[in-house]
Amino acid sequence: MSTVASMGNFSSKGTADKADKPQQALDINHAADDHETIGTPWVEDAKMSARNVNVFYGDKQAIMSVSLDIGRNEVVAMIGPSGCGKSTFLRTLNRMNDIIPGCRVEGNITLDNEDIYQSQQDTVLLRARVGMVFQKPNPFPKSIYENVAYGPKIHGLAHSNAEMDEIVEKSLRRAGLFNEVKDQLDKPGTGLSGGQQQRLCIARAIAVSPEVILMDEPCSALDPIATARIEELIDELKEKYTIAIVTHSMQQAARVSQRTAYFHLGKLIEVGDTKEIFTNPQHHLTENYITGRFG
Amino acid sequence: MSNPSSPDNTSLIRSSLKKRYARERRFKLYGLLAVLTGFMFLFVLLADIVIKGTPAFTQHFIQVTIDLDPDALGVAPGASAEELQAANFGGAIKRGLREMFPDVTSRKDKRALYRMISIGAEYDLRDLLLEQPELLGQKKEIWLRAHSEAGSYLKGQVDTELAEEDRKVKNNLIGWLDRLEAQGKTESRFNVAFFTSGDSREPELAGIKAALYGSFFTLMVTFCLAFPIGVLAAVYLEEFAPRNRLTDLIEININNLAAVPSIVFGLLGLAVFINFFEMPRSAPLVGGIVLSLMTLPTIIITSRAAIQAVPPSIRQAALGVGASQLQTVFHHVLPVAMPGILTGSIIGMAQALGESAPLLMIGMVAFIMDVPGGVSDPSTVLPVQIFLWADSPERGFMEKTSAAIMVLMGFLILMNAVAIYLRRRFETH
C-alpha cells in the first residue's frame, strides 16, 4: 500500500457521494486504494464512535483510517473477507489489542464521548463497560457458577452470596442457558457442548452488566441450531445492550443487525442500514462480496 | 494427468505399500529395542543396588551372658544414673565373652574375640541399664550388637574358600561364630540403627538419620527460596516484563545459568556466603542457598514454558470481563500452568536432592555424627553420605552405600508421586 501515509488526513463526508460504481469489478487492489467510505458512518445517538482509526502490527498497517459509530441499543455487524481488519477493529473498541506486542492504535475512539485511549483511561474499567465474546468459546476451566460469578466477584458487584446467586441465575437466564444447567452449576464449564459454552461466555460477559458487548464471530464454531439460539439471544440482548458483531456469515449479519459495515483490506468500504447494504450495495467490492463473487 | 483411480495408479501404489509398511515395522522395532535397552540398564542398575543394599537393613546380634555386678562395673550398688554413665561396661562385655570361650587364652586371640562385638554395644548396654536399673547386680543373657565383620560372616558374605590371609574374617572368628550359631546365640534383626543414628566410623553403628535430616533441612531452604522466587520471576518475565534488550539479556543468562556446572555454584557459595557473609560452614542454610541458585534456572525455565502453554483464550476471557493483569495471572493463568510448574519444580528439587558437588565445596562433606537440629547446625546430606561411605574401605560400608542409595531413590520416587498427585488435583479443578 503506497498510499498509507496519505490516509491519515482522510475525512469521511457525511454526505457520501453515491458515485458511479467503478467499472473494473474485480480489480480489488486498485479499487481499494485511496477510497472514501461510502454510506453514513455516523449516527445520531452514538454509544461508541471511532474516528480515523489506524492500527499497526509492528510496521504493518492492519486498519486504515476507519471511522464508524455504534449507536445506542443497536446491533452493528461487521463483514468482510478474512484479514480485512474487522476483528482488529472490534478489539480496538475495548483495547484488547493492548495485549498484542507491537500493536499500535492511532486515532480517536470514544465511549459516551470519553476518549478510551487517553492515558488516564483504566482498561479494567473499560473492559467492564465494554464486554467481549470471542470466536472460540473460552470458558474458564472452572465450574459453570464460577465462570459467571467471576466478573461480578472481581468487580465487587455482589455484596452477599444470595446476591451473587441472583446475578448468576439472571445472567444464565438471559443467555438462555439456565434451564439446561441449573442442576449442574458446580460442573466444569468446559464440559458443556460448544453452543452451551458460547452461551456461558455470553452469560459471563453480561454478568458484569456491560454497556456494550463486542462479539467476534461468536457462531463460527457452532452448528446451525446453536447459531440460531445465539442469534435469538442477540435479538433479545439488544433491548438492553449495544452490540457490535463480527461475522463471516452474511445471512447472520442480515438477520441480527440494524447496520452493516463492510471492511476490505483494512479499510471500511461501505456502511449503512443492513437492508440497504444487502439489497442495494453502492460499492462494487461490497456487491461482489455479498453476491459471493469473492471472499 | 492420469486418473487417480486408474488400474495403473492402483498397482503402483500397491507395489510401494510393501516397502512403506516394512519401513514402518522397522522403525517400530528400533523404538522397541531402544526402550528395552533402557529398561535393561535400569533393571541391572536397580537389581545391583537392591542386592547389595538389602543386607544393610538387617543387623546380627550375639547373645552374651553378662555379669552386671556393681563391683565389676566399678560403681556402688545403688548407683545413680550419672554414676552408671561412667561404669565400665566394656569390661563387663569382655568378661562375658571370655567366660563363653574359656579356651581363648592368648592376648591376640582375646583381642580378636572382643572384636566380635561392636564397640557400640557398651552404649547399648549402658542405655539398657539406665532404663532398667534393677538389672544391676544380676547376671543376665543379653543380646549385643555384632561387629560388622562378624556380621558379614553371619550374613554369608564371607567367601571361606579364600585363603585366610586374603580375607578380613579370620578362621578363629569363623570357628567362634559357628559355635554361637549352633547354640542359637546369634540372631538377625531389623537394623533400626540404620535409620536412627548418624554417621559412624563403625559400619554397624552408622546410620542415615543425620544425612536425612540434613537433606531435609537443605531441601526446605532450597524450596522456600527457589520455588517462590523462580515462579514469580517466571510470571514477571512472561506476563509483565517489557520485551527489550535487557529482558532478552536476562533470558539468555538464565538459560546459560542452567548449564553452569554445579560445582561452580559451590565455589560461589564458599566465596560469597561463607567467606564474605560469614555464614556457618557445613550448614544446611548455606547448602540450601547454593542449591536454590542451582535450581532457580530450571524452575524459571519450566515455569515460563508452562505459562506460555496456557491458551491465550483464557487470558483474553479474563481480561475481557475486566480482570486486571495481576488477577488474570493469579486467578487463571497460574492455576492452569500449575501442573507444569510443579513438575518443573519437583524435577529441580530432585536434582537438588541428588546434588553433592557444590555441597562438598561448602564443607558439608565433614564427618558429622550428630543429627542436625536446624538449618544452621553442621550436617551432611544423603548424596554426600553415600559418597563418604562409598569411599570407606570396610566391607560393611559397601552395603550401607547401596542401602543409602535405595533410601535416596525412595525419596525421589516419593517426590515424584507427590508431584503426580498435585498435578492430578490441579488438573481436575
Q: How confident is the model over A42-82, as pLDDT tens digits?
A: 888 889 999 999 999 988 999 998 999 999 999 999 999 88
- pLDDT score, position A225: 85
Q: Which of A20-24, B107-111, B236-240, B298-302 has the least mean pLDDT?
A: A20-24
Chain B residues inside the 8 Å CB shell of A128: 321-322
Q: B404 with B211: CB under 8 angstroms?
A: yes
> Does residue A33 carry a pLDDT above 70?
no
**Residue of B244, B310, B321 to mutate for A, most A C-beta atoms under 10 A:** B321
Cα torsion for B275, B277, B280, B286, to the nearest 10°?
Answer: -100
Q: Nearest CA of chain B to the CA of A167: how many Å?
A: 15
Q: How far is CA B268 from CA A190, B282, B352, B363, B379, in A?
A: 49, 15, 16, 13, 19
* % of chain A surpassing 90 pLDDT: 44
Q: Is A132 within the bounds of a domain? A: yes
- In one-letter notation, the amino acid at residue B245 is R
A101 inside 8 A of chain B by CB: yes
Inter-chain CB pairs, A–B, below 8 Å? 67
Q: Which of B155-169, B207-221, B271-285, B393-407 has the least mean pLDDT?
A: B155-169
Average of per-residue pLDDT across B306-318: 92
> Does residue B13 carry a pLDDT above 80?
yes
Q: How many CB atoms lie within 10 A of CB B33?
A: 10
Label residue A126 exposed, middle or buried (CB < 10 Å: 0-12, 13-18, 19+).
buried
Average of per-residue pLDDT across B307-318: 92
Q: Is A86 within the bounds of a domain? A: yes
Q: Is A61 within the bounds of a domain? A: yes
Q: Tell me the pLDDT band of B3, cut-offs 50, 70 and 90.
A: low
> For residue B415, which of B199, B219, B202 has the smallest C-alpha distance?
B219
Shortest CB distance from A140 goes to which of B317, B319, B322?
B317
Residue with the larger pLDDT of the pair A13 and B319: B319
Q: Is A107 within the bounds of a domain? A: yes
Q: Is A221 within the bounds of a domain? A: yes
Q: Nearest CA of chain B to the CA of A129: how many Å?
A: 8
A127 inside 8 A of chain B by CB: yes
> For residue B58, which of B207, B188, B166, B171 has the smallest C-alpha distance?
B188
Residue with the larger pLDDT of the pair B313 and A28: B313
Q: How far is CA B18 from CA B23, B24, B198, B230, in A?
A: 9, 10, 66, 53
Average of per-residue pLDDT across B209-213: 92
Q: What is the mean pLDDT of chain B?
A: 89
**Residue of A140, A157, A168 to mutate for B, most B C-beta atoms under 10 A:** A140
Q: Which domain, by its residues, includes A48?
A: 34-138+214-290
> Does residue B428 carry a pLDDT above 80?
no
Task: Name the fold adopted by B209-428.
Answer: MetI-like fold (1.10.3720)
Across the interface, whether the CB atoms of B321 and A204 are under 8 A apart is answered yes
Across the interface, whether the CB atoms of A207 and B335 are under 8 A apart is answered no
Q: Tell me the pLDDT band of A5, cut-offs 50, 70 and 90.
A: very low
Shortest CB distance from B322 goes to which of A141, A142, A208?
A208
Q: What is the CATH number of the domain that holds A132?
A: 3.40.50.300
β-sheet bridge partners, residue B139? B67
Task: Say how far apart CA B365 and CA B282 lie, in whole Å.
Answer: 7
Beta-carbon contacts of residue A74 (< 8 Å; ≥ 6 apart): A43, A47, A238, A242, A243, A258, A259
- pLDDT score, position B4: 54
Task: Say how far apart CA B238 and CA A248 lie, in whole Å.
Answer: 34
Q: B63 with B142: CB under 8 angstroms?
A: yes
Number of domains in chain A: 1
> Does residue A283 carry a pLDDT above 70?
yes
Query: What angle do the packed helices B395-428 and B382-391 form, to 10 degrees?
Result: 160
Shortest CB distance from B327 goes to which of A133, A134, A154?
A154
Q: What is the CA radius of gyration of chain B?
A: 31
- pLDDT score, position B75: 82
* % of chain B surpassing 70 pLDDT: 98
Cell of residue A251, nine digits: 445471512
Residue numbers of B between 231 and 250 with CB closer than 8 Å to A: 243
Residue with the larger pLDDT of the pair B27 and A265: B27
B23 inside 8 A of chain A by CB: no
Chain B residues inside the 8 Å CB shell of A151: 321-323
Q: A262 with A286: CB under 8 angstroms?
A: yes
Task: Say how far apart CA B317 and CA A132 lie, in whole Å.
Answer: 8
Chain B residues inside the 8 Å CB shell of A132: 316, 320
Cell of residue B355, nine digits: 546434588
Q: A56 with A226: CB under 8 angstroms?
A: no
Average of per-residue pLDDT across B308-324: 91
Q: Is A223 within the bounds of a domain? A: yes
Beta-carbon contacts of residue A269 (< 8 Å; ≥ 6 apart): A32, A35, A37, A38, A80, A262, A263, A283, A285, A286
Across the interface, whether the CB atoms of A127 and B327 are under 8 A apart is answered no
- ipTM of the prediction: 0.80
- pLDDT score, position B37: 97
- pLDDT score, position B419: 83
Q: Nearest CA of chain B to the CA of A224: how many Å?
A: 23
